[in-house]
């Protein structure tokens, strides 16, 4: 989903048309990205308080502490890591481990794959370094000198790609299976085996069958569903805040994270694994 595709490569774009393309991409991203971000925090509280080591006090400071962890985890990981770092690490708009590996190999003689290292880019970098009186990057010099570092770099690229593929296979299966398990609450236990697995497989087949139409079309299909979902949980959350506890804004303070770990001690540290679910 590139901006150039919306207008044609090399075609002049007006300011209004550019904003329209950005808004279009933002709308499509609702169905691709924010559906996952909006559902992940739902599992946090159940997992964080699953153990018997954490007890609730009258001031609800444990709940504030977990909520503070969720808020700051989403803020630091999603905003600082992805928006400010990951989105800037790209190879001509392409992201991912192999795109970054290709970018490194075009500017450093460290490519172990065929075509690794663009001679024009390397010559330009050498000429630029020579123009600065031989001030070459120390990291580039070390990487070009040691073959073991080049192999380690390739290993990290392959490992990152394998982890992404594994996440892409496991996450939909677990998410759909968890969603379908909600249907079993209204059925008898003897009927569970006829509902859970068959319905999950049918939904997954349909979802993966849509992938070949492209991310932009899939985003268009799911964006309205995600918009309705976000609107509903926002209204429900706002009602619960007003009706039950309008002081929940205190959880925005990192102070409650410290208090949570201080009071719960070992049980609090163990519950941090459940808090990580908000960014999975």
| 94 pLDDT above the threshold of 80 | no
pTM of the model: 0.64
Domain boundaries, the chain: 26-110+134-277
Contact 77/41 with Cβ under 8 angstroms?
no
In percent, the amount of the chain with pLDDT more than 90 equals: 2
User: What value does the mean pLDDT take over residues 56-72?
Assistant: 82
Question: 108-111 long-range CB contacts below 8 Å, 24 or more apart?
Answer: 108/140, 108/143, 108/144, 109/144, 110/143, 110/144, 110/149, 110/150, 110/153, 111/150
Q: For residue 246, give the 3-state DSSP assignment.
A: coil
Q: What pLDDT, in 10s, does the model give residues 44-62? A: 877 777 766 677 676 778 8
Q: How many Å from the N-terminal Cα to the C-terminal Cα in the chain?
A: 24
User: What value does the mean pLDDT take over residues 148-167?
Assistant: 86
- Rg of the chain over all Cα atoms, to the nearest angstrom: 24
Mean pLDDT of the chain: 76
pLDDT of amino acid 239: 92
């Amino acid at each position: 989903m590139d901006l150039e595709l919306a207008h044609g490569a090399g075609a002049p774009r007006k300011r209004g048309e550019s904003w329209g393309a950005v808004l279009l991409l933002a709308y499509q991203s609702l169905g691709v990205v924010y559906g996952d971000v909006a559902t992940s925090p739902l599992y946090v509280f159940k997992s964080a308080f699953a153990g018997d080591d954490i007890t609730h006090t009258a001031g609800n400071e444990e709940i504030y502490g977990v909520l503070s962890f969720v808020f700051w985890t989403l803020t630091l990981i999603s905003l600082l890591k992805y928006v400010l770092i990951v989105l800037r690490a790209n190879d001509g708009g392409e992201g991912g481990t192999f795109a970054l590996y290709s970018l490194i190999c075009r500017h450093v003689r460290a490519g172990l794959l065929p075509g690794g290292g663009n001679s024009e880019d390397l010559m330009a970098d050498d000429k630029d370094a020579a123009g600065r009186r031989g001030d070459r990057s120390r990291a580039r010099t070390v990487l070009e000198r040691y073959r073991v570092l080049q192999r380690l770099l390739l290993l990290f690229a392959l490992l990152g790609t394998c982890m992404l593929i594994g996440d892409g296979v496991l996450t939909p299966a677990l998410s759909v299976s968890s969603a379908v398990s909600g249907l079993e609450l209204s059925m008898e236990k003897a009927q569970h085996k006829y509902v859970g697995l068959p319905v999950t497989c049918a939904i997954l087949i349909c979802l993966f069958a849509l992938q070949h139409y492209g991310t932009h079309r899939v985003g268009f299909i799911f964006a309205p569903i995600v918009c309705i979902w976000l609107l509903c949980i926002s209204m429900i959350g706002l009602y619960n805040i007003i009706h039950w506890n309008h002081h929940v804004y205190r959880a925005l303070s990192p102070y409650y994270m410290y208090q949570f770990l201080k009071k719960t001690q070992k049980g609090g540290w163990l519950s941090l694994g459940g808090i990580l679910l908000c960014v999975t």
